[in-house]
Each structure stands twice: as structure tokens, then as C-alpha cells.
Amino acid sequence: MLLSCAALAACGDDVVGGIRIGAAPELAPAIRGIAALTNDRAVTVVADDDPVATSKPDHDLRIAIVRDLQCVECYRIDAGDHDGAWIVHAGDVLGAQYGAAAMLEHLGFRFRSPYDTYTPWAPRFDPSAAADLGVLHTPEIRVRGLQLHTIHPIEAYFALWEPGHTDEADRIFSWIVASRGNFVQWVALSDAGDPGRHDEWAASTKILLDHAHALGLRTGINVQMYGQADLQSGFDLAPDKTMAFAPQLDARVPLVTDGLPFDVYEVSFGEFSGAEPQQFVDDLSASAQAFHAHAPAAEIHALVHVGANLRVNYMGQDLLFYFLVKFADASLVPDIHTVMFYDLYEDAGGAYHHQDFSEHRAYLLERIAAGARAAYFPEDAYWVAFDDSIPIYLPLYVRSRWLDLDRLRGDPAAQGKPLDEHLIFSSGWEWGYWLHDYASLRDSYHHAGAYRDLIADAFAGDLDAAVDPIVAWTESEHDALLTGRLVAYLASRDLIIDAGRELGIVSQPDRVRLQDLPSMSAEARDAFGADVVARLAAFADDLEARARAIDALAMRGRWADELRDDVDITALRARFAATTYRAALDQLAGDPAAYQRGHDAAADLLSRAGDIVARRRAAMHSPSSALYTERGGNHTLYQYGYLFNADTLCFWNRELRQLEQLAGATVHVPDCLL
């Protein structure tokens, strides 16, 4: 918190009274959104027709915002005419906010979460930032934004879809801008089409759109085309598969267009199921034309999902099903997706049956080289039984998102042309997951020389000592979880994932389950133990040592506490996986005493993880955090907050019960689904 003169007997020459930001009246409202993110009343914004003239020496730091550049989303920071004053020159309202955020960052602030900012005790200009003065900043990628995956019960769902949270939505919008984004999209849910809910939803959504547009953000909404492929309560253009497509389209499109000035409508197609190719192409083209008719100023995008087992032959080509987008209405912009922390260039671990995403990379590069519009649409969290719902800490996401942009820039197939749009799938910010979106958005505006630079920027102020340890932690995760394919064992499986496997449906990488071990031969179990379980144990050894070293760093404060909890629970998770599998192998090898020791060790690890979860529950960043860990009705498929399974450690408990079943106990195994 900033020191203020009112809190002191006197203000000496070295004490900052506050930070005063002067901005032209048309810019001041947006700048107030940036200032509000600081959570500090000593940061004030005043509307001033001549903000430079008000920058006079006193105990306040002074920032003047002026719109005097002839460029888009650009800014330049110059020193004022005395110490403690700076001028932010901008080309438009977004550039003004970017410059204001950058200047506050030069004073030590870090906009880590939409709800919580690192605020220095005594803001001072960072001497290393002097090199930034006089530098014109312009975006390297034209469209940079988040899809807030509101089909999951995450923070953004409650802020954007449930009534009474407009202030939280405003913070999210301003935070995206502070992170150098210019676009926000969310997912429409099925209740938007209910007669008793639609008008209320449309009215509240119109308010959100007005607020986002006032900041300079463009907005988008995702809808599903076919109800039969929609597994998660999205808004469907054709919810009834027994009815003709065209009349449903005519009735449904106006529900999300009339009076709702979204800038983008993205059509997606569910997962794990396809349709007859020509019918799909025709229906998608009809959807695009319907949106153009009702929202002529909007862009229409189509989601190119993943699923290596969904292939079709169309127009003489063997294609992934979702690549049929190529043959639909030419105005459609493809949003080319990858999932989890996987990237376009490395191993994909078998996710959705993909060994890699080279076909998606080729499609994207083909569009880039042709100068045709396309978005790259990767993820910063997957949520479902994979990362923050476990919970495990995966700064590996930062590495992967940076690597994508770095290699696309240098890929010969791009023919020297830039990526047009970087749209990040966002699914939660607690447990340190704020870092992923923080880094991805900034890297979209100005690509970093190394992903370490992104972590160093995010950690500056109180977590500097952790930068290199977390980079080393990330490399260890890359080698073990991505290249070594061990992530399937730190992630988990709910009831539906296990049921889907029997039908050949694979989303996250598959694994040998505890219940699979009895059907394996003794030789196969020995080989599994010598390979996978041994590597899990070695990885746990590595993470435990790294976590101890991070715990021992001289860092203080709530962000340091969060980071310690993040690494500690991940090390515990790795040890829990190694321990439960070793105990299962011991039981099947006829050594009940070794099994019992392993079981008891796993139970102890679970108890220790519970202590960490309790600390996090009491120290989350959002004012609505109780909603994320509790059961409760909402409009998503999931009748609980997105951290409910993390908070109850449901997946850990599920696996411990499965271990006990394997040993002959009669126990209830939680489904961790509904």
C-alpha cells in the first residue's frame, strides 16, 4: 500500500504521497479502470484538459496521459520536466491504458490477477526502466485476447454470466487491457435461449459490452452449432437434432445478435463426434450467412478443434474432421486450437489421440503465408481433471505459449508474415494460474527473447529470487511431463473420462490406471514399475528438492505464500502418484506389508495436501472466491465452482479408494464429476 501524507506526521523528501494521473477527459474513465486494479486509493485519476501542465513538483508522483500519436494501440513514455513526473503519449484509448499500466509497472506495480495486484510499499521508478523512456511501443500481433471459458464455473463465469458481478467483470476487462490485450470473448450457455431468462441475460450482457467497448476492447461470443455434439450446456444454434437445421438457425441467431453488438461470433462444434461432411459444410455456411444477415458488422469465426481419430475424406482429401471449415463460407475465420500445455511443435502426449499438432500447425502456417485471416487458439489451463482442478502448478504453460510464438515467427513456411490473432483459452486464475494469461497476453504484444523474461517481469518486486528456480522447475516439468509423458499420472480421471475410454474417446493423455494393473501379466507389471513408476519417483525426488529450495528463499507476502503452496502441492502430487502405483504393484506381487506401508504413506501425503488446500482457500485473490470451492447451482454443466475438486482433493481421494479396492476393500469411489 502506498504511504500517504495523511498517515504520517510529515512528508520528507523521500516519501511518496501518492500517484496522480492526469488524463484528457475522454481518456480518464478508461484510465480509472487501470488505477482501480491497484486496489490503492493513493493512485488517483483526474480528468484534465491539459494534463501536462498539472505536472508540478510536490510529494506526489505525476503521470500525464496525452493522445498525440498517429498509430494504433501504441504508446511512448517520456520523462517530464522534473523528477517524479512522466508523460505517456498514446495513439488511442487502448494505447493510453497500455502506457498507464506500463508506467505503473515501472514504479513497481504488477497486475498479476484481475482481483489482486502486487503493490510496492514505496513506489519508485525502476532505474532499469530508463532504457524504455522515449521508446515507441506498437503491437506485434494485431488481435490479442482471451476466451474466458465461461462454460466452466470459473471466475469469469460468475463475473459475466451470473447477475450482481458487474464490478468483477469490469476488473477483468481492465486487467486484459493492462496485460496489453485488445479482445475478450466468452462462451454462451444454454440458458440464454430460455424464454424466462433471455431478456435478463441480454440486458446484462449489453451493459457488459458497453463497458468493454468503452475501454477499446473488441468482444466475441462462442456458440455451438449442433446440440447433439454439445457436452457442456452451451448455447446451440440447432439444439434439436430431430428438427430441420434452417428453421432452428433462423430462430436462434437473433437471440445472440439482436441488440447485442458483439464484434465476433465464433461457431464451434463440440467434441468427439462429427457429422456427414457435406451437411456440415452446408450448415456451417448457412450459420455464417445468418450471422452476417443479423450482425453485418461482426466477424464470423469457426473453431478448428482437435481429435486425431475424427477423419473424413472430402473433395479428394483425407482431413481431420474440423478441417472441413476450409470448405465452408469463405468469410469464416478459422480459430485453430491446441489443448492443454501442448504446443504446435513438440509432442502432444496422445491428447485427443494426437501424437503432435503438426497438422494444425500446417493449416495455420498455410493461412499466414497466404495473408489470410486466422487465429491461433491455444490453452492456458484445461481444468477438467488435468491441472488447476487437481491442483498442480504448471508454469510449463508459459514455456509452451512462448515457444509457439517464437517458432511461428521463424518458421520458413510463414514466409516472413506475422500471426494475425493470438486468442488464449483461459480457465481459471487461482493456484498461480494468473501467470499464464499474464505472460501470454504480454508476449502477444511484444514477443520476449526468452520465456524467462516473462516470468521475471511477472515476479518482479517480491518474487525476484524465485525466477531462476521456477524456470528450472519448468524445464523439469517439460522433460518429465511433456517429453516424458508423465503428466497423465499427475493429472487424473473422473468417471466420464474412464467411461469414455471404453468407447475409444480420449481427451487428456491416457495412462495405465490402477484398475488396469490386475489384468496385466507379472512381467508387464514389472516393466511398468521399472519404467513409469521409477520415473515418477525420480520426478518426485526432483520436485521435492526444488520445492524445498523455493520454500527456503527469503520471500515474504501473500504472493510468496501462494508460490510456496503451488510448488509444495505439486511435489506432493508427484510423490502421491509414485506411492500409490508402487503400493498397487506391491499388493499384486503378494507383499501386503509393503502395500500397507505404501497406502499409509499415500494417506499421509493426502493429509499434508489438505493442509495446503486449507491455506489457499483462506487466501484466494477474488472477493467471490467462496463460489469457486463450494457446491451450488449455476448454468454450467457443473454444479460447483471450478476449484471444488481441488479444494476437496477429490481426485486424490478417488485414487486412494481405487487403490483400496484393488486390495480387496469395499469402499465408495467418488466420481469427481457431478
Give me the residue label for grid cell 519508485: 124
What are 392-420's pLDDT values in tens digits?
999 999 999 999 999 999 999 999 999 99
Length of the chain: 674
Cell of 445: 504484444
Strand 264-268 and strand 299-304: the pairing is parallel
Whether 423 and 335 have beta carbons less than 8 Å apart is answered as: yes
Cell of 364: 495455420
- The DSSP secondary-structure symbol of 300 reads E
Is 143-461 in CATH node 3.20.20.80?
yes
At 439, which amino acid appears?
A
* Domain coordinates in residue numbering, the chain: 5-137, 143-461, 475-662
Cα(380)–Cα(424) distance, rounded to whole angstroms?
7
Beta-carbon contacts of 534 under 8 Å, excluding residues fewer than 6 positions away, are none
pLDDT surpassing 70 at residue 9: no
How far out from the chain centre does Cα 146 lie?
Answer: 8
Burial class (CB in 10 A: 0-12, 13-18, 19+), 46: middle
Mean pLDDT, range 295-317, rounded to an integer: 96
Banded model confidence at residue 49, pLDDT cuts 50, 70, 90: confident
Whether 348 and 360 have beta carbons less than 8 Å apart is answered as: no
pTM: 0.95
Per-state percent for the chain, helix, strand, coil, to nearest 5: 50, 15, 35
pLDDT surpassing 90 at residue 321: yes
Please give the pLDDT value at position 93. Answer: 98
What are 201-213's pLDDT values in tens digits?
999 999 999 999 9
Whether 78 and 86 have beta carbons less than 8 Å apart is answered as: yes
Cα(560)–Cα(49) distance, rounded to whole angstroms?
42
Banded model confidence at residue 2, pLDDT cuts 50, 70, 90: very low
DSSP H helix total and E strand total for the chain: 21, 19
**For domain 5-137, which architecture applies?**
2-Layer Sandwich (3.30)
User: What does pLDDT average to over the chain?
Assistant: 94
- The DSSP secondary-structure symbol of 509 reads P
Cell of 347: 509432442
* Sheet order of strands, 18-23 included: 43-47, 18-23, 60-67, 85-90, 75-79, 136-137
Cα(184)–Cα(655) distance, rounded to whole angstroms?
38
Strand 421-426 and strand 143-148: the pairing is parallel
Residue 423: strand, helix, or coil:
strand
What are 150-198's pLDDT values in tens digits?
999 999 999 999 988 999 999 999 999 999 999 999 999 999 999 999 9
